[in-house]
A and B are shown apart, each in its own frame.
Chain A
Amino acid sequence: MKKQRWLVLLTLVLAVGVVLSACGSNNNNSAANSGNKGTNSSSNTGSSNAGEEKLASDQTLHINFAADVPTFDPAQAQDNQAHTALNLMYEGLVRVDENSKEVPGVAESWDISEDGKTYTFHLRKDAKWSNGDAVTAGDFVFAWQRVLDPNTQPAPAYAYQLYYIKNAQSFNEGKITDFSQVGVKATDDYTLEVTLENTTPYFLNLTSFYTYFPVHKSVANNDKWATDPSTMITNGPFTLTSLVTGQSMEFAKNPNYWDNQDIKLQTIKATVVNSAATEVLSYQNGELDRAGQPNGNIPSDQIQILKDQFADEFHIDPVASLYYYEFNTQAKPFDNAKIRKAFAMAIDRQSIVDNVTKAGQVPAFGLIPPGINGAEKSFREEYPEDYFTENVEEAKKLLQEGMAEEGITSLPSITLTYNTDDNHKKIALAITDMWKKNLGVDVQIENQEWGVFIKNRQNGDFQIARAGWVPDYNDPMTFIDMWTTKSGNNDIKLNNAEYDALAADAYKNSDNKARMEDFRKAEQILIGDQMGIMPIYYYTNPALVKPYLKGVTLDYSGSVDYSRAYILEH
Chain B
Amino acid sequence: MFRYVVNKLFYMLVSLFILVSATFFLMKAIPGDPFQSEKKVPPEIRARLFEQYGFDKPLYEQYGKYLVNVLHGDLGISMKHVNQDVTDLIMKTFSASLKLGVVAIIVSIIVGVLLGMLAALYHRKLIDNVAMVLAVLGIAVPSFVLAALLQFFFAFKLHIFRVMGFETPLDYVLPVVALSAQPIAFIARLTRSSMLEVLHADYIKTAKAKGLNWFTIMFRHVIRNGIMPVITYMGPMAANIVTGSVVIEQVFGIGGIGKQFVESITNRDYPLIMGITIFYGVLLMLARFISDLLYVVVDPRVKLSSRKEG
**What is the interface of chain A, defined by CB distance below 8 A to chain B?**
4, 7-8, 10-12, 14-15, 18, 20-22, 24-25, 28, 31, 35, 64, 67-68, 70-71, 73, 76, 78, 150, 153-157, 159-160, 172-173, 223-224, 226-227, 244-248, 271-275, 277-278, 281-282, 284-285, 287, 449-452, 454-456, 458, 467-470, 472, 488-489
**Residue in B48, B117, B141 whose beta carbon sits within 8 Å of that of A150 in the complex:** B48
**Residue in B44, B45, B83 whose beta carbon sits within 8 Å of that of A71 in the complex:** B83
- Hey, which chain B residues are within 8 Å of A70, CB to CB? 80-82
**Residue in A223, A275, A450 whose beta carbon sits within 8 Å of that of B266 in the complex:** A450
- Hey, which chain A residues are within 8 Å of B40, CB to CB? 458, 488-489
- Hey, which chain A residues are within 8 Å of B25, CB to CB? none
- Hey, which chain B residues are within 8 Å of A64, CB to CB? 253
Q: How far is the CA of A282 from the CA of B151 in the complex (A)?
A: 9
Which residues of B in the span 248-264 have a Cβ within 8 Å of any Cβ on A?
249-256, 259-260, 263
A-B contact pairs, 30 of them (CB 8 A): A8-B127, A11-B115, A15-B134, A20-B153, A22-B137, A24-B149, A24-B152, A28-B152, A35-B156, A68-B263, A73-B82, A78-B37, A154-B49, A155-B45, A155-B52, A160-B45, A223-B83, A227-B84, A244-B92, A246-B255, A248-B166, A274-B250, A274-B259, A281-B155, A285-B156, A285-B163, A449-B266, A451-B268, A455-B31, A455-B33
B76 within 8 A of A: no
- Hey, which chain B residues are within 8 Å of A449, CB to CB? 266
Are A155 and B49 neighbours in the complex by a CB distance under 8 Å? yes
Chain B minimum-CB-distance residue to A223: B83
- Hey, which chain B residues are within 8 Å of A11, CB to CB? 114-115, 118, 127, 130-131
B203 within 8 A of A: no
**Residue in A18, A173, A454, A469 whose beta carbon sits within 8 Å of that of B137 in the complex:** A18
B32 within 8 A of A: yes
Are B255 and A451 neighbours in the complex by a CB distance under 8 Å? no
Q: How far is the CA of A12 from the CA of B268 in the complex (A)?
A: 48
Chain B minimum-CB-distance residue to A271: B253
Q: Is the interface of B mostly helix, strand, loop or mixed?
A: helix
Q: How far is the CA of A342 from the CA of B244 in the complex (A)?
A: 50
Whether A153 contacts B52 in the complex (CB less than 8 A), given A11-B115, A245-B89, A451-B32, comes out as: yes
Whether A287 contacts B165 in the complex (CB less than 8 A), given A24-B153, A451-B36, comes out as: yes
Chain A minimum-CB-distance residue to B146: A21
Q: A445 → chain B, closest Cβ, in Å?
A: 19
Which residues of B in the span 228-272 have a Cβ within 8 Å of any Cβ on A?
249-256, 259-260, 263, 266, 268
- Hey, which chain B residues are within 8 Å of A73, CB to CB? 82-83
Whether A246 contacts B260 in the complex (CB less than 8 A), given A71-B83, A455-B36, A489-B39, comes out as: yes
Q: How far is the CA of A156 from the CA of B42 in the complex (A)?
A: 11
- Hey, which chain B residues are within 8 Å of A21, CB to CB? 146, 149-150, 153
Are A247 and B84 neighbours in the complex by a CB distance under 8 Å? no
Interface readout for B103-130 with A: 1 if CB under 8 Å, 0 if not? 0000000010011011001000001001
Are B165 and A31 neighbours in the complex by a CB distance under 8 Å? no
Are B38 and A157 neighbours in the complex by a CB distance under 8 Å? no
Are B255 and A247 neighbours in the complex by a CB distance under 8 Å? yes
B interface, size bucket = 35 or more
Are A273 and B164 neighbours in the complex by a CB distance under 8 Å? yes
**Residue in A12, A31, A468 whose beta carbon sits within 8 Å of that of B152 in the complex:** A31
**Residue in B149, B162, B164 whose beta carbon sits within 8 Å of that of A25 in the complex:** B149
Q: How far is the CA of A489 from the CA of B138 in the complex (A)?
A: 50
B102 within 8 A of A: no
Whether A454 contacts B38 in the complex (CB less than 8 A), given A20-B153, A21-B146, A31-B152, comes out as: yes
Chain A minimum-CB-distance residue to B117: A7
Q: How far is the CA of A456 from the CA of B255 in the complex (A)?
A: 32
**Residue in B44, B114, B149, B256 whose beta carbon sits within 8 Å of that of A173 in the complex:** B44
Which residues of B in the span 71-90 have a Cβ within 8 Å of any Cβ on A?
79-84, 88-89
- Hey, which chain A residues are within 8 Å of B259, CB to CB? 246, 274
- Hey, which chain B residues are within 8 Å of A153, CB to CB? 52
Are B155 and A7 neighbours in the complex by a CB distance under 8 Å? no
Are B83 and A271 neighbours in the complex by a CB distance under 8 Å? no
Q: B34 → chain A, closest Cβ, in Å?
A: 9
Q: How far is the CA of A468 from the CA of B39 in the complex (A)?
A: 10
**Residue in B37, B82, B141, B163 whose beta carbon sits within 8 Å of that of A278 in the complex:** B163
Q: How far is the CA of A70 from the CA of B79 in the complex (A)?
A: 9
Q: How far is the CA of A329 from the CA of B163 in the complex (A)?
A: 49
B30 within 8 A of A: yes
Shortest 10 CB-CB contacts between residues of A and residues of B: A451-B32, A247-B255, A246-B255, A273-B253, A488-B40, A71-B82, A155-B48, A282-B163, A76-B82, A455-B31
Are B134 and A18 neighbours in the complex by a CB distance under 8 Å? yes
Q: How far is the CA of A389 from the CA of B31 in the complex (A)?
A: 38
Q: How far is the CA of A4 from the CA of B249 in the complex (A)?
A: 36
Whether A284 contacts B156 in the complex (CB less than 8 A), given A11-B115, A21-B149, A246-B96, comes out as: yes
- Hey, which chain B residues are within 8 Å of A18, CB to CB? 134, 137-138
Are A154 and B81 neighbours in the complex by a CB distance under 8 Å? no
Are A273 and B250 neighbours in the complex by a CB distance under 8 Å? yes
Chain B minimum-CB-distance residue to A478: B39
Q: How far is the CA of A18 from the CA of B263 in the complex (A)?
A: 32
- Hey, which chain A residues are within 8 Å of B159, CB to CB? 285
Q: How far is the CA of A76 from the CA of B253 in the complex (A)?
A: 25
Which residues of B in the span 157-186 have a Cβ within 8 Å of any Cβ on A?
157, 159, 162-167
Are B151 and A172 neighbours in the complex by a CB distance under 8 Å? no
Q: B161 → chain A, closest Cβ, in Å?
A: 10
Are A278 and B164 neighbours in the complex by a CB distance under 8 Å? yes
Q: How far is the CA of A22 from the CA of B117 in the complex (A)?
A: 24
Q: How far is the CA of A82 from the CA of B157 in the complex (A)?
A: 34
Q: A266 → chain B, closest Cβ, in Å?
A: 19
- Hey, which chain A residues are within 8 Å of B32, CB to CB? 450-452, 454-455
